[in-house]
């Protein structure tokens, strides 16, 4: 059973739904069926490690908004700020465009523009407390009780 893969899928799915509710962008702009299928194909151990690092980023580093510290794919590929080596092997980046690219269109820039048009701040809707609640609900739903970091 790939509980951590499913946890990562739920995390991304719920964020996509929230983006649609907050700024009215299509959910597929953030998370597609192909993205889901890729996460479900990941090795169980790497998925567990990705979930742990994502959770650490939220609980210890108080990550919020929409950024690499809480992007499932960035965490999986060990993205480090300003080092785009991880992006070259990221299929999410191939499907949605590289987030930091100024020369090519990408879905991240589109989403951030939508926040601007709606005169909203992503930090207001994706706070660290929002992510903590989301992680708690996902772990409860998938019976991930043994993985207590806190």
What pLDDT does residue 88 have? 74
Phi, psi dihedral angles at 9 (to 5 degrees): -65, -45
- Taking 60 as the threshold, does the pLDDT of residue 135 lie above it? yes
Q: Note whether 142 and 7 are within 8 A (CB).
A: yes
Q: What is the pLDDT of residues 7-57, one digit of tens each?
A: 999 999 999 999 999 999 999 999 999 999 999 999 999 999 999 999 999
What pLDDT does residue 36 have? 98
What pLDDT does residue 90 have? 87
d(CA 10, CA 7): 5
Helix pair angle (3-23, 44-59), 10° resolution: 50
d(CA 98, CA 63): 20
What pLDDT does residue 84 have? 64
Helices and strands (DSSP H and E) totals, the chain? 9, 0
Q: What is the pLDDT of residues 78-108, one digit of tens each?
A: 887 655 666 777 899 889 988 877 777 899 9
Select the more confidently predicted residue: 104 or 120.
120
What pLDDT does residue 150 have? 45
């Amino acid at each position: 059973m790939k509980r951590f893969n499913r946890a990562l899928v739920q995390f991304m799915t719920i964020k996509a739904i929230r983006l649609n509710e907050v700024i009215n962008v299509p959910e597929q702009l953030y998370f597609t069926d192909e993205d889901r299928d890729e996460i479900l194909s990941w090795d169980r151990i790497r998925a567990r490690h990705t979930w742990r690092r994502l959770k650490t980023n939220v609980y210890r580093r108080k990550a919020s908004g929409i950024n690499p510290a809480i992007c499932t794919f960035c965490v999986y590929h060990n993205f480090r700020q300003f080092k785009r080596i991880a992006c070259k092997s990221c299929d999410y980046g191939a499907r949605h465009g590289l987030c930091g690219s100024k020369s090519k269109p990408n879905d991240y820039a589109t989403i951030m523009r939508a926040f601007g048009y709606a005169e909203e701040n992503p930090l207001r809707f994706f706070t660290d407390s929002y992510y903590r609640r989301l992680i708690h609900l996902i772990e409860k739903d998938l019976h991930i009780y043994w993985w207590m970091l806190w």
